[in-house]
Amino acid sequence: MNKLVFLLIFIFFLTGCMNNYGIDDLAMISGIGFDASKHEDKHLDITAMYQVPTEMDVFEYLHASSNSLENADIEMMSQTKRQVVNGQLRISLFGEELAKDGIFPIILSFLRDPSVGPLVSLAVAKGTAKEILITKLEKEPNTGSYIETMLERLDEEYVYPSVNILQFSRSYYDDGIDPILPMILTTKRNILLDGFALFKDDRMVASITNAKAIYLFLLSEDFKKGVIDLEIEIGGKKEDVHLSYVRTKHKIKVKKENNNFSVNFDIHITGNLEGYSGKQTLSKDTVQKEIESKINNVLNSEMKDMLAYLQKNNVDPVGVGEAVRNNLSYNEWKSINWEEVYPKINFTTEVNMKIRNMSKFH
Amino acid sequence: MLKLLKKIFFNDLQAKNSKNKENKKNPKPTYSHIEEEFSKCADITKKEYPQIHIQLMYFEYMIAKDMVEKVLFSKIDKLNEEEIESFFSHSQFKISSDGKEVVNALLAGNVIIFHQDQTYIFAAINLQTRAIQTAESETIITGSHDAFNEDINTNLSLVRRRVKSSKLKVLKYSIGKITKNTVYILYIEDLAKQDLVNELKNRMENIKIDAIYDVNMLVQLIEEYPTSPFPQIFTTERPDVMSSKLTEGKIIGLMSNSPYAFSAPATFFDFVHSPDDYNQRWLTGSLIRIFRLFAFFITVTLTALYVSITTFHYAMVPELLLPTLVKSRSNVPFPPIIEALIMEFTIELLREAGARLPTKVGQTIGIVGGIVIGSASVEAGITSNILIIFVAVSAISSFVIPSYVMSSSVRIIRFGFILMAGFLGNLGISIALGFLVLSLTSLTSLKTPYLWPISPTHPSNWLDTLIRAPLSTLNNESNISKKKKNSNKNKR
């Protein structure tokens, strides 16, 4: 009993040294942006936005220049009467220039901070991160939360994945795959997704457009969602095809012949043909078969181009390295120089497209 | 100093005791002695028939007047000297030679008859009692509505008419030096474990108290851990519940002048079960039972969670709730823990006021409290409206627990949780929950574990603990307080 009393007294009095703030005394940062600094001795320009607790939908900004996220704290604190905290962080943006320099030190700061969860979304800003964060959207004052929701929705509805700290750092540490990040563009009145940034280690080395990104994701993951828009040629005329409710399955087969690897992608796609600008009657089997084979051809050539582009930049967001590594013993994998092997790999793709059903009226 | 005081008082007491002892010598069962015993009792009635040397003594308001008039007075009026012997040889006249017995019989409401050297006790007790009414504190929707009242014989009959078995054994005790309450201990011989019965007997015999007025008091004298916040012996005013406890192999107790009965050994789950669970369909009963256990946790942790989240764990708040929560907190001048304690305290006061006030005024208090707490305090910026929702939900949850004693205990524990949350956040709540589980598991009720069958774990008995399985599966349900059946195991 005495021990219990002591314990309770200790519990209540040893907490005296801790400063706790009520939830209404906090500046909870919802979005943060990093840009390469113009200062000579500083490395980063940081922009952070937080909601003013006493007002609905009013946001303020903090600006700081420093060499790391931790060092920016003091400068940020001096700009507000509230306690600056990272626990409600939703999105972290990196300016293009900074992304080309390397962003992992910042990611590491996030990983160290116990109040930042691993599910914070990451994105690369076309131009500067500051521009995007200070965009005043008409109906959505919380820019940080808006970008995060937008990326989430694209992830759920379309084939574009959103990337969080956990996924980025996993890809970064894995030697068989390179990370990617979505890129974001602001038009002063709106914010939109504008392609994907391809990283080598933690440096952005190339980017691909939204339209081309689809072929990358067809190669790298299975999805049960999304829409594919294609242009096919039938009888010398260009026709638009719109596929919805797409289901894909991909298999990567690796063959090793004395030091040359050949990798084969076997991709099965089923989808609904919802939009078609051509004149043929789709209910005929022959027409369907023709459309399917045309789509296969288009996809094959596009994917080949995509893989060639990746090899040219020597980035591997598809995870070919993982597939190759899974086929080798540990020592074999260690003995090859993947950096040199990757650009020489012979890729082949087999696409198998099936139209599941047609639109209501055709 | 203390010693001196002790000495003075002790000597004083001893002197008093010795004096008392002299007086307390058993009075002889003669008229003069008994009369002296009841000197200065203005309410005693004495009747004399000098011709035939008979004196009567009784309390007029405790006897059945009509019966006594018909059977005793009218007959004595016509008696001759010779007929007296034969008249008093009837079985309704009990000869007594023990003065104490005579005094007790007189106090209990019998007529005492003195004839020369003989003393007879004539049983004529008729005490005014409340009628059998509906249960006040444990209302149910389906099932029987009668409740125990203050008359122990009525209570006994309420149990006997439900358990028609000669195996239902009854032990009688008298508790309280001054109040001399009758206590009946009931158990079914083949179902109850004999060693538990013996243990309870022991405890009953070792009670030393001057005055006792209710079963809920008695229970505190026979439980193992009087300092624990949790009641360890189940009390109820419902005879149907008590009968079911008997058939579960538990021991129950009734006390005179108390409309409650107790059953031992009790588990925690006795306090959160209601007869309604059995009277409704099993699916409904099971769901309600699970809700009730949820309610137990909600009432203990909800307000504490609000405190810990608004003090430490802002990161746990969902994004859409955040602006609302922060906005509601922004006008409040107190830290969350003070705010929560004020609100809980007010709600507790309201509840207590409602319990103490007469019904007509009580409703007014409810309305006033609702308006004051509900809207005025928010508009004045003393509390945030989200906290009010939390406090109200946890208050409602506490009333879901059927046993009033248990729900009071839980409400007290809540304050500890709020303090821990205010000082240590979610860690504090976890520590408090740990302590709660520890204190629950370490309790025993009449030598049986309090959290049985969850701890120690007996999954075969969970069918009637967390859920209420269909009745056909519950027949022959074994129980910790039941004797093991040797044969016919699980024959259905």
Give CA–CA dist B20/B139, Å, rounded: 48
Pick A87's closest partner by Cβ from B315, B323, B428: B315
| Contact residues, chain A, for B319 at CB < 8 Å | 30, 88, 90, 145
Chain-centre distance of CA B448, in angstroms?
19
Q: B266, B264, B262, B290: which is closest to B277 by C-alpha?
A: B290
Pick A11's closest partner by Cβ from B309, B325, B424: B424
Residue B88, pLDDT score: 81
Question: For A59-98, how does the pLDDT look when each residue is reduced to its tens digit (9 = 90+)?
Answer: 889 999 988 888 888 888 888 888 888 888 989 999 999 9
**What is the dihedral angle through the alpha carbons of A76, A81, A82, A84, rounded to the nearest 10 degrees?**
10
Pick B311's closest partner by Cβ from A20, A28, A54: A20
| Contact residues, chain B, for A24 at CB < 8 Å | 326, 329-330, 332
Interface test with A, best of B306, B321, B423 (most A CBs within 10 A): B423
| Contact residues, chain B, for A12 at CB < 8 Å | 419, 423
* Number of continuous H segments (helices) and E segments (strands) in chain A: 12, 14
Residue B55, pLDDT score: 87
Question: For B249-261, how does the pLDDT look when each residue is reduced to its tens digit (9 = 90+)?
Answer: 899 999 999 999 9
What is the band of B450 on the pLDDT scale with cuts at 50, 70, 90?
A: very high
| CB neighbours of residue B432 within 10 Å | 23
| Ramachandran category for residue B113: left, alpha or beta (phi over 0 → left; psi -120 to 50 → alpha) | beta
Residue B344 has pLDDT above 60, yes or no: yes
Chain-centre distance of CA B306, in angstroms?
35
Pick B326's closest partner by Cβ from A24, A30, A145: A24
Q: Taking a C-beta distance cutoff of 8 angstroms, is the pair B111, B96 a contact? A: no
Question: For B175-222, how does the pLDDT look when each residue is reduced to its tens digit (9 = 90+)?
Answer: 988 888 999 999 999 889 999 999 999 999 999 999 999 999 999 999
Give CA–CA dist A120/A86, Å, rounded: 11
Residue B295, pLDDT score: 93
Chain B (431-490) residues lying within 8 Å, Cβ to Cβ, of chain A: 431
Q: Does A14 touch chain B (CB under 8 A)?
A: no
Q: Does B265 touch chain A (CB under 8 A)?
A: no
Residue B491, pLDDT score: 39
* Mean pLDDT value of segment B75-96: 81
What is the band of B80 on the pLDDT scale with cuts at 50, 70, 90?
A: confident
* Mean pLDDT value of segment B296-313: 92
Q: Taking a C-beta distance cutoff of 8 angstroms, is the pair A346, A263 a contact? A: yes
* Mean pLDDT value of segment B49-65: 86
Question: For B417-448, how does the pLDDT look when each residue is reduced to its tens digit (9 = 90+)?
Answer: 999 898 888 999 999 999 999 999 999 999 89
Give CA–CA dist B374/B367, Å, rounded: 10
Q: Does A29 touch chain B (CB under 8 A)?
A: no
Question: For A176-198, how does the pLDDT look when each residue is reduced to its tens digit (9 = 90+)?
Answer: 899 999 999 988 888 989 999 99
CA distances from B181 to A83, A348, B28, B206 (A): 66, 97, 24, 15
| Contact residues, chain B, for A87 at CB < 8 Å | 313-315
SS3 A358: strand
Residue B489, pLDDT score: 43
What is the band of B238 on the pLDDT scale with cuts at 50, 70, 90?
A: very high
What is the band of A266 on the pLDDT scale with cuts at 50, 70, 90?
A: very high
CB contact under 8 A, B329 and A115: no
Question: For B370-411, how does the pLDDT look when each residue is reduced to its tens digit (9 = 90+)?
Answer: 777 777 888 888 888 889 899 989 989 998 999 999 999 998
B323 pairs with which residues across the strands?
Answer: none
Q: Taking a C-beta distance cutoff of 8 angstroms, is the pair A299, A215 a contact? A: yes
Q: Does B309 touch chain A (CB under 8 A)?
A: yes
Residue A205, pLDDT score: 93
Span of A52-56, B66-70, B139-143 with lowest mean pLDDT: A52-56
Average of per-residue pLDDT values in chain B: 85
Q: Taking a C-beta distance cutoff of 8 angstroms, is the pair A248, A268 a contact? A: yes
Pick A15's closest partner by Cβ from B309, B423, B431: B423
Give CA–CA dist B305/B387, Å, rounded: 10
Q: Which of A45-54, B197-206, B342-351, B374-383 has the highest mean pLDDT?
A: B197-206
Interface test with A, best of B314, B319, B321, B426 (most A CBs within 10 A): B314
Which amino acid would we find at residue A334? K
| Contact residues, chain A, for B325 at CB < 8 Å | 23
Pick B315's closest partner by Cβ from A20, A22, A88: A88
For chain A, report the end-to-end CA distance as a whole number of angstroms: 83
* Mean pLDDT value of segment B407-416: 91
Closest alpha carbon within chain B to A10: B423
Span of A53-62, B79-88, B339-348 with lowest mean pLDDT: B79-88
Residue B16 has pLDDT above 80, yes or no: no
| Contact residues, chain B, for A55 at CB < 8 Å | 327
Residue B29 has pLDDT above 70, yes or no: yes
Contacts of A22 (CB under 8 A, 6+ apart): B310, B311, B329, B335, B336
Q: Any idea what DSSP says for residue B408?
A: H
Write down how long chain A is. 362
Give CA–CA dist B441/B438, Å, rounded: 5
Top pLDDT among A227 and B340 is at B340
Residue B418, pLDDT score: 94
Question: What percentage of chain B reaches a pLDDT higher than 90?
Answer: 36
Interface test with B, best of A1, A8, A13, A20 (most B CBs within 10 A): A20
Residue B490, pLDDT score: 43
CB contact under 8 A, B332 and A56: no
Question: What percentage of chain B reaches a pLDDT higher than 70?
Answer: 92
CB contact under 8 A, B317 and A115: no
Pick A22's closest partner by Cβ from B317, B322, B335: B335
| CB neighbours of residue A193 within 10 Å | 19
| Contact residues, chain A, for B428 at CB < 8 Å | 11
Q: How far is A191 from chain B (nearest CA, A)?
A: 20
| Contact residues, chain B, for A54 at CB < 8 Å | 327, 330
Contacts of A349 (CB under 8 A, 6+ apart): A219, A264, A265, A267, A299, A300, A303, A304, A307
| Contact residues, chain B, for A26 at CB < 8 Å | 314
Top pLDDT among A120 and B365 is at A120
B56 pairs with which residues across the strands?
Answer: B47, B113
Residue A23 has pLDDT above 60, yes or no: yes
Q: Any idea what DSSP says for residue B210?
A: S
Ranges of beta strands (E only) in A144-223 are: 163-164, 180-186, 191-200, 203-208
Residue B21, pLDDT score: 47
* Cis, bond preceding B50 (omega within 30 deg of 0): no
Chain-centre distance of CA A189, in angstroms?
23
| CB neighbours of residue A118 within 10 Å | 13
Q: How far is B330 from chain A (nearest CA, A)?
A: 5
How many beta-carbon pairs below 8 A join chains A and B? 63
Q: What's the burial of B444, exposed, middle or buried (CB within 10 Å: 0-12/13-18/19+)?
A: middle
| Ramachandran category for residue A76: left, alpha or beta (phi over 0 → left; psi -120 to 50 → alpha) | alpha
Residue A189, pLDDT score: 84
| Contact residues, chain B, for A28 at CB < 8 Å | 314, 322
CB contact under 8 A, B310 and A26: no
Which amino acid would we find at residue B428? G
| CB neighbours of residue A361 within 10 Å | 4
